[in-house]
């Protein structure tokens, strides 16, 4: 009798257990509890030490991946992260100028196979000479390194010394001035295209990087005909400028102009707003037409502002005050005004460039030029949360530099900023760079007019079949007002 009762009791609980399992949710709960309460069963088939080792390896993989991604992202913001653009890595390096030799305001462009040369100059603060070297890197039309070995585009050594240098003379700010004219006998580029000039101290390592600068070498193969005119689209007629052009291939052979040609248009010396994605509107025999009504337009903007500090002894146009103390010279510019809603007014400028020169030199402006803190102010009724206002132009290497950010002074209701600059004549403008964007908006503070005088450059690249690099086969300089 007792045995029968035990059997009935066990049968009762088995039935209850089966009823509970009939519910999916309950089954999941019970199953989970069953598995977690029976580690010994699993352990019997796979030792605990093996589980730990397996789980640890998975964790390490995940951690390694996360660290790698974070490092790549953070590297760009490191001072010595290499950039294929105009950038200064050493804070003691100032006033870097790269232009065609003999033309101080020209872009760094020369023709392949000619005697044309580029002129590089820069200053380094301090009283001791440093040994600087340079090399060049060939890039494609998008300013990424070409798939070429240095020996394929360099005739001679892959690096050379910058051997011309002089200490500053009779200046409050001590510095050494360096000069280089190239190509040289030791280092000659043999291919057309885009190049990066890389300057470094002693040895070519990340820690020794001084600065990088872009330059171009062209080899004319096709003919460019172009014009700048008022925008065709009615909505843009009062504010934008249109760049129309055509390419005559002549005897030059291109298999597919839609894929084998790359065209880049720049305004003044800016790269942030360059147009890079144009394709021919139509092709007729050897003529490629790029006469668009949209997609090839730029903001007209406004004429650049200016100031003249070639002399620090006399107050010139746009200067309010010049002082000297233990920190050196300080120049206070007259307050600027927002021009967004003013009518266009013609004014002669040098389209954002800079001319390094001093009126007080005895022999040489390069080594007798002083440095001064130049203070900018721009009255405005409120701060801006959507981005930053930058002082912009050749004086900031056409970059949105951290030191060129204007800060808002709520007490005086104005944006303020200061730059440490060498004596000379400067153009500049105020540009809004919105958060998470890379193209600056000059119209926010400067206004937008189709009448504005601007310089434009058209670059035409071609990667021939069987080659791995972009040749620069044509270049055209234009002006919106003057005939070139």
Asked if the structure places residue 57 within a domain, the reply is no
| pTM of the predicted model as reported, rounded to 2 decimal places | 0.82
Same domain, 356 and 438: yes
Q: What CATH number corresponds to the domain at position 282?
A: 2.60.40
What pLDDT is stored for residue 484 in this prediction? 61
Q: How many CA atoms lie within 13 A of 133 on its CB side?
A: 13
Residue 449 near residue 393 (C-beta atoms within 8 A): no
Distance CA 90, CA 200 (A): 10
3-state secondary structure of 421: strand
What pLDDT is stored for residue 478 in this prediction? 96
Q: 127 pLDDT band (50/70/90 cuts)?
A: very high
Q: What are phi and psi of 455, to 5 degrees?
A: -100, 140
> Where is the domain boundary, 176, 194, 218?
218
Same domain, 184 and 285: no
3-state secondary structure of 204: coil
Asked if the structure places residue 95 within a domain, the reply is yes
Chain-centroid distance of CA 218 in Å reads 22
Same domain, 196 and 260: no
Over 80: is that where the pLDDT of 74 sits?
A: no
Same domain, 263 and 213: no
In this predicted model, what pLDDT tens digit does every residue of 370-384 receive, in sequence order?
999 999 999 999 999
Compute the average pLDDT of residues 274-279. 93
Same domain, 293 and 355: no
Over 50: is that where the pLDDT of 9 sits?
A: no
Question: Based on the structure, what is the number of domains in the chain?
Answer: 3
Residue 157 near residue 213 (C-beta atoms within 8 A): no
Contacts 24+ apart (CB under 8 A), 430-436: 430/336, 430/378, 430/389, 430/390, 430/391, 430/392, 430/406, 431/389, 431/390, 431/392, 431/400, 432/384, 432/387, 432/388, 432/389, 432/390, 433/387, 433/388, 433/390, 433/400, 434/386, 434/387, 435/386, 435/387
> Where is the domain boundary, 171, 192, 218?
218
Same domain, 148 and 232: no
Expressed as residue numbers, the domain containing 244 is 223-300+454-479
Residue 448 near residue 300 (C-beta atoms within 8 A): yes
In this predicted model, what pLDDT tens digit does every residue of 314-344 receive, in sequence order?
998 899 999 998 889 999 999 999 999 999 9
In this predicted model, what pLDDT tens digit does every residue of 11-52 receive, in sequence order?
444 444 444 444 444 444 334 433 333 333 333 333 333 333
Nearest to 269 by CA among 100, 123, 113: 100
In this predicted model, what pLDDT tens digit does every residue of 338-377 receive, in sequence order?
999 999 999 999 999 999 999 987 789 999 999 999 999 9
**Mean pLDDT taken over the chain:** 87
> Where is the domain boundary, 201, 218, 235?
218
In this predicted model, what pLDDT tens digit does every residue of 385-444 receive, in sequence order?
999 999 999 999 999 999 999 999 999 999 999 999 999 999 999 999 999 999 999 999
Q: 77 pLDDT band (50/70/90 cuts)?
A: low
Q: 482 pLDDT band (50/70/90 cuts)?
A: confident
């Amino acid at each position: 009798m007792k045995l029968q009762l035990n059997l009935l009791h066990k049968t009762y609980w088995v039935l209850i257990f089966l009823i509970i399992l009939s519910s999916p949710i309950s089954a999941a709960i019970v199953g989970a509890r069953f598995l977690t309460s029976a580690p010994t069963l699993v352990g019997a088939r796979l030792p605990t030490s093996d589980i730990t080792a397996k789980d640890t390896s998975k964790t390490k993989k995940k951690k390694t991946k996360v660290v790698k991604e974070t490092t790549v992202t953070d590297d760009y913001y490191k001072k010595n992260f290499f950039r294929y653009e105009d950038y200064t890595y050493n804070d003691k390096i100032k006033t870097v100028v790269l232009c065609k030799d003999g033309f101080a305001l020209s872009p760094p462009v020369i023709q392949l196979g000619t005697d044309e040369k580029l002129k590089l100059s820069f200053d380094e603060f301090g009283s001791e000479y440093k040994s600087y070297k340079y090399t060049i890197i060939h890039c494609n039309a998008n300013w990424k390194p070409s798939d070429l070995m240095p020996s394929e585009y360099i005739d001679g050594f892959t690096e050379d010394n910058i051997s011309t240098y002089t200490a500053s003379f009779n200046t409050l700010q001590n510095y050494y001035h360096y000069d280089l004219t190239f190509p040289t006998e030791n280092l000659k580029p043999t291919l057309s295209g885009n190049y990066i000039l890389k300057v470094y101290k002693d040895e070519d390592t990340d820690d020794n990087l001084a600065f990088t600068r872009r330059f171009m070498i062209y080899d004319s193969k096709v003919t460019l005909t172009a014009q700048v005119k008022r925008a065709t689209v009615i909505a843009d007629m009062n504010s934008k400028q249109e760049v129309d052009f055509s390419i005559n291939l002549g005897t030059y052979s291109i298999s597919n102009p839609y894929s084998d040609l790359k065209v880049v248009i720049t305004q003044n010396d800016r790269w942030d707003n360059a147009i890079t994605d144009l394709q021919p509107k139509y092709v007729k025999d050897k003529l490629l037409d790029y006469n668009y009504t949209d997609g090839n337009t730029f903001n007209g903007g406004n004429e650049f502002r200016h100031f003249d500090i070639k002399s620090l002894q006399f107050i010139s146009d746009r200067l309010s005050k010049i002082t000297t103390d233990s920190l050196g010279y300080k120049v206070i510019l007259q307050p600027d005004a927002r021009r967004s809603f003013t009518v266009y007014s013609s004014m002669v400028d040098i389209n954002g460039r800079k001319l390094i020169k001093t009126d007080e030199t005895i022999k040489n402006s390069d080594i007798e030029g002083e440095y001064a803190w130049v203070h900018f102010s721009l009255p405005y009724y409120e701060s801006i949360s959507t981005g930053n206002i930058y002082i912009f132009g050749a004086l900031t290497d056409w970059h949105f530099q951290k030191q060129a950010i204007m800060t808002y002074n709520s007490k005086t209701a104005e944006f303020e900023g200061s730059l440490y600059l060498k004596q000379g004549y400067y153009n500049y403008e105020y540009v809004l760079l919105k958060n998470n964007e890379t193209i600056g908006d000059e119209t926010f503070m400067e206004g937008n007019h189709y009448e504005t005088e601007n310089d434009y450059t058209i670059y035409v690249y071609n990667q021939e079949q069987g080659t791995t690099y972009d040749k620069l086969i044509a270049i055209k300089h234009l002006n919106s007002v003057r005939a070139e």
